[in-house]
């Protein structure tokens, strides 16, 4: 299967988190990691609109997908901010703070790159090629912004 990538920008608002999930599930339909990818992008998009400069009026965040036969990379890019994303330990008294912990649990690897001017939080999910045969994306190899 030919590797492909796709990306899209979203207005930084709660309804856009739903749209980001739909974007990921549409392009990963048939992949064994689709449910995990949907949950990861939901967490990362929520973090972007709550904790980064993207939360300002007119702010945006971006979702990228890169699919290879044996792995899927997801990235959510925001407009930066003063604090760096941090994996917090779950506190039963707090409502938030578990997003990156969940991503770390679900993904095979994850990380953050960037600075106060813009960051991408990414996650990689490995695909078991022996038991999975993801449906290739029509027109694979194309990129969209």
- Whether 80 has a pLDDT exceeding 60, the answer reads yes
Order of strands across the sheet that contains 71-78: 4-11, 60-68, 71-78, 118-126, 109-115
- Whether 135 has a pLDDT exceeding 60, the answer reads no
> How many whole angstroms separate alpha carbon 34 and alpha carbon 97?
24
The pLDDT tens digits for 90-107 are: 454 445 557 789 999 999
**Structural domains of the chain ordered from first start:** 4-126 (3.30.565.10)
> How many whole angstroms separate alpha carbon 54 and alpha carbon 56?
5
The pTM assigned to this predicted structure is 0.83
Model confidence at 85, pLDDT cuts 50, 70, 90, reads low
DSSP 118-136: EEEEEEEEE--TTT--PPP
Residue labelled with tokens 């993904």: 107
Are the CB atoms for 36 and 22 separated by under 8 Å? no
Strand partners, 125: 72
- Whether 61 has a pLDDT exceeding 50, the answer reads yes
């Amino acid at each position: 299967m030919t590797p492909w990538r796709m990306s899209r920008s979203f207005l930084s608002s709660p309804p856009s988190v739903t749209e980001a999930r739909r974007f990921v599930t549409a392009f990963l339909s048939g992949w064994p990691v689709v449910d995990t990818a949907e949950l990861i992008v939901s967490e990362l998009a929520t973090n972007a609109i709550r904790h980064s400069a993207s939360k300002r009026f007119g702010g945006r965040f971006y979702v990228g997908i890169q699919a290879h036969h044996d792995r899927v990379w997801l990235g959510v890019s925001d407009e930066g901010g003063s604090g760096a994303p941090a994996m917090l330990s779950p506190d039963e008294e707090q409502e938030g703070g578990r997003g990156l912990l969940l991503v770390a649990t679900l993904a095979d690897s994850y990380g953050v790159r960037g600075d106060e001017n813009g960051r991408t939080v990414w996650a990689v999910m490995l695909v078991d090629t022996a038991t999975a045969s993801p449906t290739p994306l029509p027109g694979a190899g194309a990129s969209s912004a």
